[in-house]
């Protein structure tokens, strides 16, 4: 599955909305039911699903879905190179 | 918004999820996600019929970091373990303030459970380098004194039990490896503090061994710096998940939901090979073979469980004689036939056999843990007996001990003398049964048992066992009211109005320890039997006659005219449904009784009508009852 599709699954699960569609241009804060607790839950879910760990600076700027996808793809690529 | 159909579907999903035993919740994010989804329908869920069997508990979680995620995860586990939680909305980092002010919201919340999460940063000043032993001791005493004050304050909350984590030393070490060499290192100071807290523990306090949990998953995974810095979580999500599971387990033990018996398969479970095919000489329990050694290690572990009071049973698809052969053929197997309280080897299905085992041992189906290498048998038991805890046994016998540890089935709150002798007393029971067959009538059998009892008012030394009986007894339990240790200790304050009685029992085959407890409450001219429980292992010995004589003595000492009691029916206490009738009490309507909240059958007896009951127990009374 593409990173974007896996991300979409996670978003649907965390925000409890099966109809949620994400796009690179979206900002997490635009999603209904978003709050800082759900934000942390989202970070935990993504880290767990992809087996990655975000640095503080990354987790803090974790807002734009396109950014998240690009950060993830870089990390996954780095993991496969090691 | 969710549609009505979505809501119904979701409620059904959680109803199913919560009946599944074993480790169905794997990862931290899965549990968080389930909790968030459950929260949306929680109120509707609680209106459903199946939520009625849940025991409500008010829980205050006090920690020096955000407790949001811990509470979210706890919620899911608690519902599964039979508890309906309501959480106190704590203010971050205000443990002392909440407890010191008796007008605080915490006091008006009146929690049943106070979960105190300690953290290495709670301590602002550690001993200096080169501190002497005396200086370290005074540092420890000072902190222990602080917790003793907190415990004393929490004792002002009626019926509140405290669950407090021990300290986990942090991942960083000022002195590196040198920490191990100096008493004044932070690591050793925290170790000493943990030890001193145990020595000073108040009776209503239970420690949660998060230090073990941290070492189990490793400090590296226990702490998560960015989680702390970003969202003030003191533990990683993985650590929070594990802790929530364990704490829920412990709170469930507090309401009597514990596992008592380990049911083992034989072939490829406690030895290698199938004895029916290869014979006793062909099975593998060879200490010089790695595989044989693995089975022996498992046996040794099982025996350690047995010696702390876990009852052992066997359930094997075999001919009985063949199944028993290896026990006599090998003298160096750790498990002996005499260690097994109930040995079932036949060709019936295992669900039926497990039900029989529970029945023979007189314990609930939900107190069984099933360990079988065959996945088909496990699936059958899961399906037909969902209340049984089924262990996911791996293929490799080297991992048997570890999966048992990971399942954490036997997390009791306290160990009593009675627990430790229990697993033997089932074997003694078999001997009693053999002896019973020699006697023509039951009365002369009872006489032959040489039964002796010590009776008295329970004091602090009997309280832990009395509390255990109150919370664990399901069958001989007239009203099934559960009380925490703290609540029972409160009752000791007023002997003029509340009396707690106990019976310690033995016979010529062995000692049982304290097997019965009663709480009698004075209400004007009436002595009300609030609680009357007895261990299922001593039914039909005439102990209830001894007990009713004790009740009479208490009523008499209070100058009461009447003794009243109640039978509240549950699914498990049918055995005592006619107890009061048999003892000569008359049935009452609720109006005559004067209490309206009672749902059970009410009984009364005028004390002038009581004839002391005859029994064959030689009684040594610790207190003068009259």
Per-chain mean pLDDT for chain B: 90
Q: Which residues of chain A lie closer than 8 angstroms to B29, CB-CB?
A: 41, 44-45, 48-49
Asked if residue B476 and residue B584 are part of one domain, the reply reads: yes
Other beta carbons less than 10 A from residue B98's beta carbon = 20
Residue B3 covered by a domain:
no
Q: In this structure, are strands B526-534 and B562-567 parallel, antiparallel, or unpaired?
A: parallel
User: Distance between the two ends of chain A, CA-based, in angstroms?
Assistant: 22
CATH number of the domain where residue B575 is located:
3.40.630.30
The ranges assigned to domains in chain A are 3-81
Alpha-carbon distance of B599 to B570, in angstroms, equals: 11
Instruction: Spell out the CATH class of A3-81.
Output: mainly alpha
Of B362, B390, B407, the domain-final residue: B407
Give yes or no for residue B229 having a pLDDT over 90. Answer: no
Predicted confidence band at B158 (pLDDT cuts at 50, 70, 90)? Answer: confident
Top mean-pLDDT range of B81-90, B187-196, B378-387, B460-469: B187-196
Asked if residue B521 and residue B446 are part of one domain, the reply reads: yes
Q: Which residues of chain A lie closer than 8 angstroms to B69, CB-CB?
A: 37, 40-41
Residue B207 covered by a domain:
yes
Residue B69 covered by a domain:
yes
Of B215, B237, B254, the domain-final residue: B254
Residue B423 covered by a domain:
no
Alpha-carbon distance of B481 to B500, in angstroms, equals: 14
Domain of residue B512: give its range: 438-621
ipTM of the complex: 0.90
Nearest-CA residue of chain B relative to A42?
B29
A47 and B28 in contact (C-beta within 8 Å)?
A: no
Mutation for A interface: B231, B233, B234, most A CBs within 10 A: B231
Interface of B with A (CB under 8 A): 27-29, 32-33, 36-37, 40, 68-69, 226-227, 229-231, 233, 237
Asked if residue B605 and residue B512 are part of one domain, the reply reads: yes
What Rg, from alpha-carbon coordinates, does chain B have? 27
Of B254, B286, B315, the domain-final residue: B254
- B5's CB contacts (< 8 A; 6+ apart) are none
Asked if residue B228 and residue B100 are part of one domain, the reply reads: yes
φ, ψ of residue B51 to 5 degrees: the values are -80, -10
Total tally of structural domains belonging to chain B: 3
CATH number of the domain where residue B289 is located:
3.40.50.1000
Asked if residue B362 and residue B481 are part of one domain, the reply reads: no
Asked if residue B268 and residue B243 are part of one domain, the reply reads: no
Residue B272 covered by a domain:
yes
Other beta carbons less than 10 A from residue B255's beta carbon = 17
Give yes or no for residue B598 having a pLDDT over 60. Answer: no
For residue B611, the 8-state DSSP code is P
The pLDDT value given to residue B115: 95
φ, ψ of residue B247 to 5 degrees: the values are -65, -40
Residue B181 covered by a domain:
yes
Q: What percent of chain B has pLDDT over 70?
A: 96
Residue B487 covered by a domain:
yes
Predicted confidence band at B149 (pLDDT cuts at 50, 70, 90)? Answer: very high
Mutation for A interface: B33, B37, B38, B241, most A CBs within 10 A: B33
Nearest-CA residue of chain B relative to A62?
B230
Place of tokens 């709480």: B519
Residue B424 covered by a domain:
no
pLDDT tens-digit readout, B2-56: 889 999 999 999 998 888 766 556 799 999 999 999 999 999 999 988 788 899 9
């Amino acid at each position: 599955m593409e990173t974007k599709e896996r991300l979409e699954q996670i978003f649907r699960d965390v925000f409890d909305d099966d109809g949620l569609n994400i796009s690179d241009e979206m900002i997490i804060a635009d999603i209904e039911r978003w709050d800082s607790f759900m934000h942390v839950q989202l970070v935990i879910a993504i880290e767990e699903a992809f087996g990655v760990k975000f640095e503080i600076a990354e987790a803090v700027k974790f807002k734009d879905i396109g950014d998240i996808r690009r950060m993830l793809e870089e990390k996954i690529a780095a993991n496969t190179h090691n | 918004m969710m549609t009505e159909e979505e809501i119904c579907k979701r409620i059904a999903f959680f109803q199913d999820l919560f009946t599944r035993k074993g480790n169905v919740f794997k990862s931290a994010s899965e549990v968080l996600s389930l909790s968030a989804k459950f929260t949306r329908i929680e109120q509707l869920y609680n209106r459903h019929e199946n939520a009625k069997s849940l025991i409500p508990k008010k829980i205050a979680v006090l920690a020096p970091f955000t407790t949001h995620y811990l509470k979210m995860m706890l919620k899911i586990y608690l519902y599964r373990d039979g508890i309906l939680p309501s959480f106190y909305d704590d203010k971050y980092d205000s443990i002392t303030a909440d407890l010191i002010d008796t007008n605080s919201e915490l006091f008006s919340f009146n929690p049943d459970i106070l979960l105190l999460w300690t953290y290495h940063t709670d301590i602002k000043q550690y001993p200096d380098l080169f501190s002497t032993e005396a200086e370290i001791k005074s540092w420890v005493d000072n902190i222990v004194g602080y917790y003793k004050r907190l415990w004393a304050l929490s004792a002002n909350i009626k019926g509140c039990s405290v669950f407090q984590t021990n300290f986990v030393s942090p991942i960083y070490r000022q002195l590196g490896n040198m920490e191990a060499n100096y008493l004044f290192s932070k690591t050793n100071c925290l170790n000493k503090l943990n030890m001193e807290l145990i020595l000073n523990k108040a009776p209503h306090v239970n420690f949660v061994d998060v230090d073990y949990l941290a070492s189990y998953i490793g400090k590296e995974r226990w702490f998560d710096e960015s989680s702390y810095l970003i969202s003030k979580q003191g533990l990683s999500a993985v650590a929070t998940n594990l802790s929530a599971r364990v704490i829920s387990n412990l709170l469930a033990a507090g309401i009597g939901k514990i596992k008592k018996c380990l049911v083992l398969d034989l072939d490829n479970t406690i030895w290698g090979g199938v004895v029916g095919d290869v014979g006793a000489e062909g099975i593998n329990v060879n200490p010089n073979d790695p595989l044989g050694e693995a089975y022996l290690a498992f046996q040794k572990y099982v025996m350690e469980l047995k010696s702390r009071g876990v009852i052992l049973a066997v359930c094997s698809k075999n001919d009985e004689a063949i199944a028993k052969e290896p026990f006599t053929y090998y003298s160096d197997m750790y498990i002996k036939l005499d260690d097994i309280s109930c040995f079932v080897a036949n060709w019936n299905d295992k669900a039926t056999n497990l039900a029989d085992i529970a029945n023979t041992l007189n314990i609930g189906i939900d107190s069984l843990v099933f360990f079988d290498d065959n996945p088909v048998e496990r699936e059958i038991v899961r399906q037909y007996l969902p209340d049984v805890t089924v262990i996911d046994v791996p293929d490799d016998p080297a991992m048997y001990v570890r999966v048992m540890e990971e399942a954490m089935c036997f997390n009791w709150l306290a160990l009593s003398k009675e627990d430790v002798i229990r697993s033997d007393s089932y074997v003694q029971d078999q001997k009693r049964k053999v002896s019973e067959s020699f006697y023509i009538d039951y009365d002369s059998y009872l006489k032959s048992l040489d039964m002796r009892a010590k009776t008295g008012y329970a004091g602090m030394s009997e309280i832990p066992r009395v509390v255990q009986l109150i919370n664990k007894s399901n069958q001989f339990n007239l009203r099934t009211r559960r009380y925490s240790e703290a609540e029972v200790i409160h009752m000791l304050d007023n002997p003029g109005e509340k009396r707690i009685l106990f019976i310690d029992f033995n016979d010529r085959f062995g000692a049982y320890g304290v097997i019965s407890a009663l709480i009698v409450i004075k209400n004007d001219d009436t002595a009300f039997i609030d609680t009357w429980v007895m261990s299922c292992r001593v039914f039909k010995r005439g102990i209830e006659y001894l007990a009713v004589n004790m009740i009479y003595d208490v009523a008499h000492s209070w100058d009461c005219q009447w003794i009243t009691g109640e039978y509240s029916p549950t699914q498990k206490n049918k055995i005592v449904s006619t107890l009061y009738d048999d003892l000569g009490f008359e049935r009452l309507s609720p109006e005559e009784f004067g209490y309206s909240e009672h749902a059970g059958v009410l009984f009364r007896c005028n004390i002038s009508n009581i004839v002391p009951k005859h029994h064959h127990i030689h009684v040594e009374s610790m207190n003068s009852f009259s």
